[in-house]
Structure 1
Amino acid sequence: MKIATWNVNSAKARLPNTTQWLIEAAPDVVLFQEIKCETAAFPAAAFEELGYQVHAVGQKAYNGVAILSKMPVSDLITRLPGEPEDEQARYVEGTVNGVRIASLYLPNGNPVDTEKYPYKLRWMDRLRQHAADLLGGGQPVVLGGDYNVIPGPEDVYDPVGWRDDALFRQETRLKFQEILALGYTEAFRTLHPGLIPAYSFWDYQAGAWPRNNGLRIDHFLLSPQAADRLVACEIDKGPRGKEKASDHTPVILTLGQ
């Protein structure tokens, strides 16, 4: 099973790029983040024409996630448990061919001296609790998406300059490690421990893309049952170099049987 995650930074604005990439890469399951439209406005028909079932969870102008699958999706949930009053569209999860798969868009958290950073940390606590609960189900679990977490200094072009950013603060990284400590495997770095640089995001500003000033913030976390099936996890930089590109590029996970 080939599963891709991609923060598309507006499903409508990137539609030609995303559909062309899906034709070429042909993933079985696709996890989108930042679709930036209400659920009803998501361009589902374009993806259905390519053979995908579409399950989008959106809100006007911001956030939004989706699961696209060439196989049936069952037992869908559309919110991360733990904070019923949280209306931000950041999480969708379902079962595909026996694998529990989530598309998540973890809060950015900047500026850190506002409510945005405590919200990020609370969201990470909720994710850790839910990730722990999922382990009790016994099925393979894949938590993919834009985590807005730089796991280590090797995952950012300027570790010193990013030291106090919400994506790289020690408290953020420790909460990410707490999720891993439950028994999850971070797929890319497990397979590529020494591959530096390896980024999935390049800002639109300051020539970040041509200078390769990037961050690795798009991740797949795998339960032990999924990690046992881990075959490959690669970053496809090609889409970032296209016209009208998202500032993120796809990460592709391959699971064996």
Structure 2
Amino acid sequence: MLIATFNVNGINSRLRALLQWLREMQPDVVCLQELKAPQEKFPEAAINGAGYQAIWHGQKSWNGVAILARSILPVEVERGLKGDPDDEQSRYIEAAVNGVLIACLYLPNGNPAPGPKFDYKLKWFQRLIARAGELIANGVPVILAGDFNVIPTDLDVYKPERWLDDALFRPESREAFHLLLEQGWCDALREMHPGEKIYTFWDYFRNAFGRNAGLRIDHLLLSPSLAGSLKDAGVHREVRGREKPSDHAPVWIELDLKTG
């Protein structure tokens, strides 16, 4: 089972590139973030034409998440995180696909930090940790996939000293991520590439991609019942180098569910 996460940075403006990647890689499940489209503007017909069915949680101009599955419709379980009835941002959706629960998330950026946006990030993170704890306790096979907007360690950023005050790298953000992992989640990409500088995001400015001045902020976390199924993981880095790309590249994992 091939599962990927991809922050598309505007699904309609990057649709051609997304469809090309889907044709080439044919992942079984895809989590998309930063749709930047209201619910009615999601390109469902084009996604269906590529062989995928989808559920999505849109929002005008900002945010937005979706789960795509090849040939079958994801069965929606949750839409939005519990814990804040006033939160209107479209950042979380859960669905069951082929016996696996897929949670697609777009964690807040949090900049500038400190400040209200950083406070929102940390509160949202605490709600995610609470939901993740529920999922672990249930014992079902789960994947938390998406743009976490967290650089977990120094290995995950090209020049750590330049990011010390950024919301993605502040101690509070990293501590929250490690609290999540301590529940028992497996960081799939790091599990397969333990000592490698491997990035998932490169800014559009200052030739960041050409210099490989990147960050690892897109993650796929596996629940304990799935960790033994992990066979491979990587980044489709070449997608970032194409015409009119997202500033993220797709991140993927391969699972052998027979051995989980």
TM range (shorter): over 0.9
Q: CA deviation at 1:40?
A: 1.0
RMSD over aligned CA atoms reads 0.8
Within 5 Å, which residues of 2 pair with 1:88-127? 88-127=89-128
Secondary structure of the 1:211 match is coil
In structure 2, the partner of 1:151 is: 152
Distance 2:64 2:222 in 1: 22
Task: Give runs of aligned pairs for residues 190-201 of structure 1, distance below 5 A.
Answer: 190-196=191-197, 198-201=198-201
| Maintained 8 Å contact 1:93/1:100 | yes
Whole-Å Cα distance in 1 between the matches of residues 52 and 209 of structure 2? 31
- What residue in structure 2 maps to residue 184 of structure 1? 185
Contact 1:162 1:168 in 2 (8 A): yes
SS of the residue corresponding to residue 151 of structure 1 reads coil
The structural deviation recorded for 1:139 is 1.3
Partner AA of 1:246 in structure 2: S
User: Which position in structure 2 is the counterpart of 1:13?
Assistant: 13
Alpha-carbon deviation of 1:77?
1.4
Q: How far did 1:92 drift?
A: 0.7
Identity %: 50
| Unaligned ranges ≥5, structure 1 | none
What residue ranges of structure 2 are gaps of 5+ in the alignment? none
Give, in whole Å, the separation in 1 of the partners of 2:99 and 2:129.
Answer: 22
* 2:43 equivalent in structure 1: 43
User: TM-score, structure 2 length as denominator?
Assistant: 0.97
- Provide the rounded CA distance (Å) in 2 between the counterparts of 1:87 and 1:245: 28
CA deviation vs aligned residue, 1:143-195 (integer Å, no higher than 9, x gap): 00000000100100110010110000111100000000011110010111011
Is 1:174 the counterpart of 2:175 in the alignment?
A: yes
The residue type equivalent to 1:44 in the other structure is E
Give the whole-Å Cα distance in 1 for the aligned partners of 2:84 and 2:231. 35
Specify the SS of the correspondent of 1:209. Answer: coil
1:67 corresponds to: 67
Distance 1:195 1:112 in 2: 29
Q: Distance in 1 between matches of 2:137 and 2:124?
A: 20
Query: What is the 5 A alignment of 1:198-217?
Result: 198-217=198-217
1:218 matched residue in structure 2: 218
Q: Per the alignment, in what secondary structure is the counterpart of residue 176 of structure 2?
A: helix
The superposition leaves residues 4-51 of structure 1 with CA deviations (integer Å, 9 ceiling, x where unpaired) of 100000000100000000000000011000000001101111110111
CA distance in 1, matches of 2:96, 2:28: 13
Whether 2:80 is the aligned partner of 1:79: answer yes
SS in 2 for 1:220: strand
Aligned 8 A contact 1:72 1:97 in 2: no
Q: Which residue of structure 1 lines up, in the alignment, with residue 162 of structure 2?
A: 161
C-alpha separation in 1, matches of 2:124 and 2:256 = 31
**Matched AA of 1:254:** E
- Matching residue of 1:141: 142
Q: Is contact 2:54–2:73 with CA below 8 Å preserved after alignment?
A: no
Secondary structure of 1:119's counterpart equals: helix
In the TM superposition, residue 251 of structure 1 has moved relative to its aligned partner by 0.2
Letter of the aligned partner of 2:11 in structure 1? Answer: A
Alignment TM-score, normalising by the size of structure 1: 0.98
SS at match of 2:247: coil
Q: How many residues align?
A: 256
Q: Distance in 2 between matches of 1:67 and 1:26?
A: 14
Contact in 2 for aligned 1:57/1:89 (Cα 8 Å): yes
